[in-house]
Every structure is written in structure tokens, then in C-alpha cells.
């Protein structure tokens, strides 16, 4: 089950990355986000998020949906059903928890404490430490993406 927990962590971290650089057109289909990254010597304006995305058909171009809590669909994975809940504040995901997950898993608090700070290393480090990427043990998200995505869709982010 450990793999599930950590898979979730990495999913959340990816999501957090998406929302950290949230633009506007996540409404339909797969989220596409353009982020502007820059070296530490660039000015703030150069490192600000880009405002364009493309290829996300059905994107509304509108701003974020309402703040609140959104629960995704329950999605079956090979290890059991998974259901994810996100909390949105100011148009960003501030919390993401698995409210249903394969049994035997008691590490959700650890997930919550860990997930948000993880924040997509590659995007963060690109702006901070003169490091472009981090190579690490593969992050996967398996079935979690589907439930997360449905929560996002409900939030109209």
C-alpha cells in the first residue's frame, strides 16, 4: 500500500504545480498549463506565470471557480477504489486528501503534511537553485488522476 500513498503524494504535488501556475483553461479535458520559469537572475515579471494556454478544448477562459471543497468521483484502481477531495481557496488548491483509498492505509496525515510542500520540484528548482530538473524515483499517479480531475472539473478551475 505504500506505493499508493506515495503515488498520491506525487499526484498532489503535480496538481499543486498545475495550480501554482494556474492560468485559466482547465475546464475541459486534460489540464494544460503554461508556466514561465526563469533563472534566479531574472526579474519577477519574467518569472510570472504565462497567461496563455492552448490545446485545451472547452477551456472557458474564465477565472477560477468558487472556493470550497470538491469531491471527485470514486475511481477504481487495481488496488481498490480511490476518491479525492480538494479544497479550493482563492482559485488555488490549498488541500487535497484521499477520502477513500485502499484499506490498510493510515498515512493520510503524512500525505497532507507532505504533499503541498512538495510542489513540483522541477518547476520550483528551475527558479531557485540553478537546477533545471530533478531525476528521482518515478512518480506515478495511477488512478488518482481521474478522481482528482473530476474534483477539479467540479471546481471549474
| Residues in 80-99 at the binding interface with other proteins, rule: CB under 8 A | none
| Residues in 55-74 at the binding interface with other proteins, rule: CB under 8 A | 55
Q: Are 145 and 152 in contact (CB under 8 A)?
A: no
**For other proteins, which is the closer residue by CB, 39 or 60?**
39
Shortest Å distance, C-beta 106 to other proteins: 15
Among 31, 59, 65, 72, binds other proteins (CB under 8 A): 31
In three-state secondary structure terms, 117 is helix
C-alpha cell at 80: 481498490
Among 64, 71, 141, 154, binds other proteins (CB under 8 A): 141
Shortest Å distance, C-beta 107 to other proteins: 12
> What are phi and psi for residue 17, nearest 5 degrees?
-60, -45
Residues 98 and 17: their CA atoms lie apart, in Å, by 18
Among 28, 48, 50, 89, binds other proteins (CB under 8 A): 50
Residues 98 and 130: their CA atoms lie apart, in Å, by 34
Q: Which helix (H) or strand (E) is 4 found in, with range?
A: helix 2-20
Q: What is the CA radius of gyration of the chain?
A: 16
Count, residues near other proteins per rule CB under 8 A = 55
Closest CA to 26 of 72, 51, 61: 61
Shortest Å distance, C-beta 85 to other proteins: 18
What would the x/- binding string for other proteins be over residues 110 to 129, using CB under 8 A?
Answer: ----x--xxxxxxxxxx--x
C-alpha cell at 41: 537572475
Give the interface with other proteins as residue ranges (CB under 8 A): 2-3, 6-7, 10, 13-14, 17-18, 30-39, 41-42, 46, 50, 52, 54-55, 78, 114, 117-126, 129-143, 145, 149
Amino acid at each position: 500500500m505504500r506505493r499508493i500513498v506515495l503515488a498520491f503524494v506525487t499526484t498532489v504535488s503535480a496538481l499543486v504545480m498545475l495550480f501554482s501556475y494556474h492560468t485559466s483553461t482547465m475546464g475541459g479535458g486534460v489540464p494544460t498549463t503554461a508556466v514561465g520559469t526563469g533563472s534566479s537572475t531574472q526579474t519577477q515579471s519574467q518569472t510570472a506565470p504565462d497567461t496563455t494556454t492552448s490545446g485545451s478544448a472547452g477551456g472557458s477562459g474564465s477565472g477560477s471557480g468558487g472556493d470550497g471543497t470538491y469531491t471527485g468521483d470514486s475511481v477504481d484502481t487495481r488496488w481498490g477504489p480511490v476518491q479525492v477531495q480538494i479544497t479550493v481557496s482563492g482559485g488555488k488548491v490549498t488541500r487535497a486528501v484521499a477520502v477513500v483509498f485502499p484499506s490498510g492505509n493510515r498515512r493520510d496525515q503524512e500525505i497532507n503534511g507532505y504533499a503541498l510542500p512538495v510542489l513540483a520540484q522541477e518547476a520550483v528548482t528551475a527558479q531557485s537553485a540553478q537546477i533545471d530538473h530533478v531525476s528521482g524515483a518515478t512518480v506515478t499517479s495511477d488512478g488518482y488522476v481521474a478522481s482528482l480531475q473530476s474534483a477539479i472539473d467540479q471546481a471549474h478551475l
